[in-house]
Structure 1
Amino acid sequence: MVVASTAEAAGEILKTHDAALCNRPKLNLPHVLTYGSKDLVFSSYGEYWRQIKSIAVLHLLSNRRVQSFRRVREDETRVMIDMIRESRGSLVDLSDLSLTLTNNVVCRATLGRTYPEFEFKHLLKRLSFLIGVYSIGNYIPWLSWVDWLNGLQRSAHEVAKEFDYFIEGVIGEHINKKKGLDIDAESDISLDFVDILLDVQSKTATSLTTQSVKALILDMFAGGTDTTPPSIEWAMSELIKHPRMMKKLQQEAREVAQGRSMINEEDLEKMQYLKAVIKETLRLHPPAVLLLPREAIKDVKLMGYDVKAGTQVVVNTWAVGRDPSVWEEANKFRPERFLNSDIDYKGLHFELLPFGGGRRGCPGLQFAVAIIELSLANLVYKFDFQLPDEKRGEELDMSETTGTVVHRKSPLLVMATPRF
């Protein structure tokens, strides 16, 4: 295995040798969870992967499709704001609220309606754990029996069965609802992702089997719900910890909103400090500290080293984002560093890679960022936040969990005071 911990090394992997290092190794537990690696994230590089990526990019996550869910995002943000307002000064769990917000947006966009959060919270936590847990069988195949002995394989099969039962029900609902209707995924932007996938499956000559449809639904639902909430809670944590920066963002929000009840998505393009805050949050707290492993398709020369075909290659986004040779005061939260910078998180600047890059970059980037920007802008516009027990912002505990996606170790509990 090769681990890249600098922007230079990441660029070699994600750009210079992207074509040679774009395969995905077969990982035992994700293979079970994703219908035999039939999803976009874990499928091997080849014609099948190219087909399902094309479907995802063109039909599910295009800019036009993401914009079609604007009202969903604004509605659910308004619900979150109302819930905080109703707390009337009592403790509010911003970690839980960001999860609820994201869960509702992703459910409505992916599945067509909201589902009770309690149905998923524990299941998603188990899924995230199993995708990120160390599986000895991935590295020493003749010791794969250890994953059965310690219960990991059994847990993976149980979680896969529970998700499959749920997704089967969702697909059945959509088929019954659409009977007799002529669905056109190209022209109807009101459709959810399941509608679109079923339409594409019925009208195109692709290898989009029922298993593939289920795997893509799992990608869109689980991927969006698990990775977006931590970015919201880490951004709010950093702003609470740094009151001067909170005030600066609140001032920008006031100037943009001009007294209206909510900030809408049209306003976000004017909020340059908001975008800087989000970039700095993603630099210090990338949703995944390690990008999922790639596998060399052929022998390559990587920064002077011979890397043989079959070698796994991993980019350490956490280390890249805190590299002191690239970032001044690398461990400090300083959004201002992005105000006069063209560095972005879209995979073209290798010093900032929260969503990866190259062929295997996250296609859901626009969808995730739209939720983060809108929710964060309205939270700071509508409320002032204080920590309980008269703690100062700098006393906020910033301890992290371990796992594929890094959350706060303790929930972000605050008291919120309406600003008007």
Structure 2
Amino acid sequence: MDFGASPWVTYSTIFALFLAIIVRAMTNHRRRRPNLIGALPHRSIHELSKKYGPLMKLQFGSFPVVVGSSVSMARLFLKTHDPAFAGRPKTAAGNYTAYNYSDITWSQYGPYWRQARKMCITELFSPRSLDSYEHIRSAEIRRLLRSLFDAAGRPLLLKDHLTTLSLSVISRMVLGRRYLDPTAEDQAAPPPPVSTEEFKRMLDELFLLNGVLNIGDSIPWLNFLDLQGYIRRMKAVGKTLDRFMEHVLDEHIARRVKEGENFSPRDMVDVLIQFAENPTLNVKLNKSSLKAFSKDLIAGGTESSAVTVEWAIAELLRKPDIMKKAAEELDRVIGRERWVEEKSLQDLPYIEAIMKETMRLHPVVPMLVPRQAREDVVIDGYDIPAGSRILVNTFTISRDPSIWEEPDEFRPERFLGREMDVKGHDFELLPFGSGRRMCPGYTLGLRVIQSSIANILHGFSWRLPDGVKAEELNMDEIFGLSNPKKVPLVAVAEPRLPIQIYNMSS
């Protein structure tokens, strides 16, 4: 009897390898090809919606994908039938970068997710909690302004400064100290297992991989081949992330044990640990849950603000007259002898309009995180079967000429005197989504984004490096879970306030 491989196994292996070679060649081929979905899926689907309308069904491998690309469709998916579409598809990203769907973004709709959402609303992002951390945000923005002042007159990579700001704010609020940019008082603590630059690269990779169209997510039986190499990268970034989160939790749990009944939360991880110890929880939280929630807080809070502020300054460099109007408002309301505090933001409608216009033209998440139908639903007369994946293309909504005059133009004035918020109530503008699964940390994001834009414009005049014309500025984006600039912005900052204003301690 021959105990070698059967012909079926041999043929299957050969077929799988042959298929892998063909698909990989198609994926990597650089010549133009007639694919409906290109490297920027939100733009491809935008073009399709202009031809086929605001409600489309696409077929991604084994799964039907229903796309809503209008205000009315967004309202039906995210409000009218919100519970029916509150599910999440199980993707490789959710598995390998979110502790097997344990975070808030990728966890399935149910008791676990509802408990996590309640924790965010009542504990982590309540107005009381955010107000208690205002001194941290203020201090870190001062550090940003000082770093820009030190680099004044020279071309600088703005995203680096903005990411450092975001990481420092989030690190101090969530983790209790600057893990990745320590000050003297932090030096006594054990260093984290990743460097600052490694952590920044990890965050960029995390957002890219959580938004890619992985072939195995659409054709599950091909997943083991990892035809695009995405799963390998997801596993690698997941391991790096886990090393860091283990370090953080071990430190916090050790302090919790040491202090015993005298334990008092100092940061959001402490709040999470205390929450997990509550004996009345409907669903018990384990260490993976705590790491997954902490990852959401760090990644979400860092990426959205840095990306949005970079886009804002890039647009303003192309429209100096708008930057001039912003400076005039700041001088009139704030004066030239102080920085902008959060309490003053409500008195700066033009700065708020710049923020909203940036979020309209460059939504951080151009297609909201995919949802999944939990039951059969009829939408606009069409049957949407349970299990269908749902995409809401905010990129198309924000460019709808029936809503926005000259939709491709950066015009903050369109928001002056127009009652429209970015908190999920007005479906014309949904940078954070809407309904049950909208971003729970949007209130923090708004504070950091608006305060950053206001202070950056108040403290500095901005220009492009010598020899670079505004019309030459690259405004292409990269598609992922977020939508950053493809070519990072390089600009020159020149101080515009009295010199003593910049003499700030960190």
- Give yes or no for the alignment of 1:167 onto 2:245: yes
Query: Size of the alignment, in residue pairs?
Result: 415
Aligned-residue sequence identity (percent) comes to 40
Q: Give the Cα–Cα distance (whole angstroms) in 2 for the partners of residues 250 and 263 of structure 1.
A: 12
**Aligned-pair CA distance for 1:258:** 2.2
Asked which structure has the greater RCO (Cα within 8 Å, sep 6+), the reply is: 1
Q: CA deviation at 1:393?
A: 3.5
- Who is 1:120 aligned against? 199
1:205 aligns with 2:284: no
Give the Cα–Cα distance (whole angstroms) in 2 for the partners of residues 341 and 184 of structure 1: 47
Post-superposition offset of 1:183: 5.9
1:26 and 2:90 matched: yes
Letter in 2 for 1:8: S
Of the two, which has the highest radius of gyration? 2
The C-alpha deviation readout for 1:166-193, integer Å capped at 9, x for no partner, is: 11110111123342254677xx6xx211
Cα deviation for residue 19 of structure 1 reads: 1.3
Q: Distance in 2 between matches of 1:43 and 1:183?
A: 33
1:250–1:204 CA distance, 2 compared to 1 (3 A) = farther
- Does the 8 Å contact 1:230/1:406 carry over to 2? yes
1:228 Cα offset (Å): 1.7
Match of 2:236 in 1: 158
Moved more, 168-177 or 280-289: 168-177
Corresponding residue to 1:177 among 255, 276, 285? 255
Q: Which of these residues, 246, 269, 274, is aligned with residue 194 of structure 1?
A: 269
Q: Report the more deviating stretch, 126-135 or 74-83.
A: 126-135
> Structure 1 pair 82/34, CA: closer, same or farther in 2 (3 Å)?
same
Q: Which moved more, 1:271-280 or 1:381-390?
A: 381-390
- Structure 1 residue runs of 4 or more that deviate by more than 6 Å after TM superposition: none
- Verify: 1:244 aligned to 2:325, yes or no: no
* Amino acid aligned to 1:15: K
Instruction: Determine if the alignment matches structure 1 residue 295 to structure 2 residue 359.
Output: no
Normalising by structure 2, report the TM-score: 0.79
2:47 paired residue number: none
1:110-149 to 2 correspondences below 5 Å: 110-116=174-180, 117-147=196-226, 149=227
Query: How many Å separate the matches in 2 of 1:184 and 1:232?
Result: 37
State the Cα distance separating 1:72 from its structure 2 match: 1.0
**Alignment gaps of 5+ in structure 2:** 1-64, 181-195, 498-506
TM-score calculated relative to the size of structure 1: 0.95
> Does the residue aligned with 1:173 lie in a helix, a strand or coil?
helix
Partner residue of 1:339 out of 416, 423, 430: 416
Per-residue CA shift, 1:108-132, capped at 9, x if unaligned?
Answer: 1111111332130121122222211
Structure 1 residue runs without a partner (length 5+): none
Number of the residue aligned with 2:357: 280
CA distance in structure 1 between the aligned counterparts of 2:160 and 2:327, rounded to whole angstroms: 22
Q: Structure 2: how far apart are the matches of 1:180 and 1:209?
A: 21
Distance 2:230 2:299 in 1: 19
Aligned match of 2:151: 87
CA contact (8 A) 1:96 1:411 kept: no
* 1:397 and 2:470 are equivalent in the alignment: no
Structure 1 residue matching 2:461: 3-state secondary structure:
strand
Cα distance between partner residues in 2 of 1:368 and 1:248 = 24
Distance 1:306 1:75 in 2: 53
The aligned runs of 1:288-327 (5 Å cut-off) are: 288-327=365-404
Question: How many Å separate the matches in 2 of 1:397 and 1:277?
Answer: 20
Aligned to 1:229: 306
Farther off after superposition, 158-167 or 354-363: 158-167
**Counterpart-to-counterpart distance in 2, 1:30 and 1:336:** 39
For the 8 Å contact 1:22–1:360, the answer to whether it is kept is yes
Q: Which residue of 2 aligns with 1:9?
A: 73
State the AA in 2 paired with 1:29: A
The code of the aligned residue for 1:294 comes to R
